[in-house]
Amino acid sequence: MSKSVARVAEAIARCGLEARIIEPGPSRTAEEAAAACGCEIDQIVKSLIFEGESGRIYLFLTAGGNRLDPERAAAVAGEKLGRADAETVRRETGFAIGGVAPLGHLTAPRIFADARLGEFAQVFAAAGTPRHVFAVEPRALIAACGAEWADFTA
Protein backbone atom coordinates (compact mmCIF):
# COMPACT_ATOMS: atom_id res chain seq x y z
CA MET A 1 0.00 0.00 0.00
CA SER A 2 1.38 3.41 -0.95
CA LYS A 3 2.06 6.04 1.72
CA SER A 4 -0.72 8.21 0.29
CA VAL A 5 -3.32 5.44 0.40
CA ALA A 6 -2.19 4.48 3.92
CA ARG A 7 -2.61 8.11 5.04
CA VAL A 8 -6.17 8.17 3.63
CA ALA A 9 -6.97 4.82 5.29
CA GLU A 10 -5.73 6.21 8.63
CA ALA A 11 -7.83 9.38 8.19
CA ILE A 12 -10.94 7.30 7.35
CA ALA A 13 -10.42 5.20 10.49
CA ARG A 14 -9.70 8.24 12.67
CA CYS A 15 -12.94 9.91 11.50
CA GLY A 16 -14.94 6.75 12.04
CA LEU A 17 -16.18 6.72 8.45
CA GLU A 18 -17.69 3.56 7.04
CA ALA A 19 -15.60 3.30 3.89
CA ARG A 20 -13.32 0.82 2.21
CA ILE A 21 -10.56 1.77 -0.21
CA ILE A 22 -10.72 -0.07 -3.52
CA GLU A 23 -8.70 -0.08 -6.74
CA PRO A 24 -11.35 -0.25 -9.49
CA GLY A 25 -8.99 0.81 -12.28
CA PRO A 26 -7.87 4.11 -13.77
CA SER A 27 -9.71 6.93 -12.02
CA ARG A 28 -7.73 10.02 -13.00
CA THR A 29 -10.79 11.71 -14.53
CA ALA A 30 -14.41 11.71 -13.38
CA GLU A 31 -15.41 9.83 -16.53
CA GLU A 32 -12.79 7.11 -15.95
CA ALA A 33 -13.74 6.84 -12.28
CA ALA A 34 -17.48 6.54 -13.00
CA ALA A 35 -16.84 3.80 -15.57
CA ALA A 36 -14.49 1.95 -13.21
CA CYS A 37 -16.86 2.24 -10.23
CA GLY A 38 -20.02 1.53 -12.21
CA CYS A 39 -21.80 4.66 -11.03
CA GLU A 40 -23.22 7.94 -12.31
CA ILE A 41 -20.63 10.61 -13.12
CA ASP A 42 -22.06 12.94 -10.44
CA GLN A 43 -21.32 10.29 -7.80
CA ILE A 44 -17.63 10.93 -8.39
CA VAL A 45 -16.13 13.51 -6.04
CA LYS A 46 -13.72 15.72 -7.96
CA SER A 47 -11.10 17.34 -5.70
CA LEU A 48 -10.12 20.73 -7.12
CA ILE A 49 -7.33 22.62 -5.38
CA PHE A 50 -7.09 26.40 -5.63
CA GLU A 51 -4.74 28.90 -4.04
CA GLY A 52 -5.93 32.28 -2.82
CA GLU A 53 -4.04 35.55 -3.21
CA SER A 54 -3.29 35.20 0.50
CA GLY A 55 -1.50 31.89 -0.14
CA ARG A 56 -4.28 29.93 1.58
CA ILE A 57 -5.23 26.62 -0.05
CA TYR A 58 -8.85 25.72 -0.81
CA LEU A 59 -10.31 22.35 -1.77
CA PHE A 60 -13.57 22.29 -3.74
CA LEU A 61 -15.32 18.90 -3.70
CA THR A 62 -17.39 18.91 -6.86
CA ALA A 63 -19.80 16.37 -8.37
CA GLY A 64 -18.12 14.72 -11.35
CA GLY A 65 -20.39 16.21 -14.01
CA ASN A 66 -20.37 19.75 -12.60
CA ARG A 67 -17.90 22.50 -13.44
CA LEU A 68 -16.49 24.93 -10.93
CA ASP A 69 -17.36 28.58 -11.65
CA PRO A 70 -14.22 30.62 -10.80
CA GLU A 71 -16.19 33.74 -9.81
CA ARG A 72 -18.54 31.82 -7.53
CA ALA A 73 -15.63 29.91 -6.00
CA ALA A 74 -13.78 33.17 -5.29
CA ALA A 75 -16.92 34.63 -3.69
CA VAL A 76 -17.27 31.56 -1.46
CA ALA A 77 -13.58 31.70 -0.48
CA GLY A 78 -13.66 35.45 0.05
CA GLU A 79 -10.62 36.12 -2.09
CA LYS A 80 -9.34 35.88 -5.66
CA LEU A 81 -8.31 32.33 -6.56
CA GLY A 82 -6.04 30.60 -9.04
CA ARG A 83 -5.52 26.91 -9.78
CA ALA A 84 -2.79 25.50 -7.56
CA ASP A 85 0.11 24.05 -9.52
CA ALA A 86 1.20 20.41 -9.16
CA GLU A 87 4.07 21.28 -6.82
CA THR A 88 1.81 23.28 -4.49
CA VAL A 89 -0.83 20.53 -4.50
CA ARG A 90 1.73 17.88 -3.54
CA ARG A 91 3.43 20.09 -0.91
CA GLU A 92 0.19 21.13 0.78
CA THR A 93 -1.92 17.98 0.50
CA GLY A 94 0.68 15.25 0.14
CA PHE A 95 -1.16 13.94 -2.93
CA ALA A 96 -0.51 14.15 -6.66
CA ILE A 97 -3.13 15.74 -8.89
CA GLY A 98 -5.60 13.02 -9.86
CA GLY A 99 -5.40 11.35 -6.45
CA VAL A 100 -6.24 14.19 -4.03
CA ALA A 101 -8.46 12.77 -1.30
CA PRO A 102 -10.98 14.86 0.67
CA LEU A 103 -9.13 14.01 3.90
CA GLY A 104 -5.68 12.99 5.08
CA HIS A 105 -3.93 16.16 3.88
CA LEU A 106 -0.52 17.20 5.17
CA THR A 107 -1.87 20.74 5.69
CA ALA A 108 -5.63 21.06 6.16
CA PRO A 109 -7.16 23.26 3.44
CA ARG A 110 -10.47 25.05 3.79
CA ILE A 111 -12.97 22.74 2.08
CA PHE A 112 -16.22 23.48 0.26
CA ALA A 113 -18.64 20.87 -1.08
CA ASP A 114 -21.02 20.91 -4.05
CA ALA A 115 -24.61 20.30 -2.88
CA ARG A 116 -25.15 17.89 -5.79
CA LEU A 117 -23.03 15.32 -3.92
CA GLY A 118 -25.58 15.24 -1.10
CA GLU A 119 -28.26 13.92 -3.45
CA PHE A 120 -26.74 10.43 -3.49
CA ALA A 121 -26.67 7.60 -0.96
CA GLN A 122 -23.05 6.89 -1.93
CA VAL A 123 -20.24 8.78 -3.65
CA PHE A 124 -16.72 7.78 -4.65
CA ALA A 125 -13.74 9.93 -3.70
CA ALA A 126 -10.04 9.67 -4.52
CA ALA A 127 -8.05 7.74 -1.95
CA GLY A 128 -4.55 9.08 -2.49
CA THR A 129 -3.65 7.86 -5.99
CA PRO A 130 -5.25 8.08 -9.44
CA ARG A 131 -6.15 4.36 -9.13
CA HIS A 132 -7.68 4.22 -5.64
CA VAL A 133 -11.09 5.43 -4.46
CA PHE A 134 -13.38 4.91 -1.52
CA ALA A 135 -17.15 4.73 -1.42
CA VAL A 136 -18.84 6.71 1.33
CA GLU A 137 -22.12 8.33 2.33
CA PRO A 138 -21.63 11.98 1.23
CA ARG A 139 -23.01 13.74 4.31
CA ALA A 140 -20.76 11.65 6.56
CA LEU A 141 -17.78 12.52 4.33
CA ILE A 142 -18.54 16.24 4.37
CA ALA A 143 -18.87 16.22 8.15
CA ALA A 144 -15.68 14.16 8.60
CA CYS A 145 -13.51 16.44 6.46
CA GLY A 146 -15.01 19.63 7.89
CA ALA A 147 -16.31 20.87 4.55
CA GLU A 148 -18.95 23.54 4.10
CA TRP A 149 -21.78 23.10 1.60
CA ALA A 150 -21.52 25.95 -0.90
CA ASP A 151 -22.74 27.12 -4.30
CA PHE A 152 -19.68 27.38 -6.55
CA THR A 153 -20.59 25.49 -9.72
CA ALA A 154 -21.58 26.85 -13.13
Task: For residue 81, give the CATH number of its domain.
Answer: 3.90.960.10
The pTM (predicted TM-score) of the whole model is 0.96
Total domain count, the chain: 1
The HSE-up count of residue 69 (CA atoms within 13 Å, CB side) is 10
Range of the domain at 79: 3-150
Pairing of strands 133-136, 148-150: unpaired
- The one-digit pLDDT tens for each residue of the chain (154 residues) are 799 999 999 999 999 999 989 999 887 789 989 999 999 999 999 999 999 999 999 999 999 999 999 999 999 999 999 999 999 999 999 999 989 999 999 999 999 999 999 999 999 999 999 899 999 999 999 999 999 999 999 9
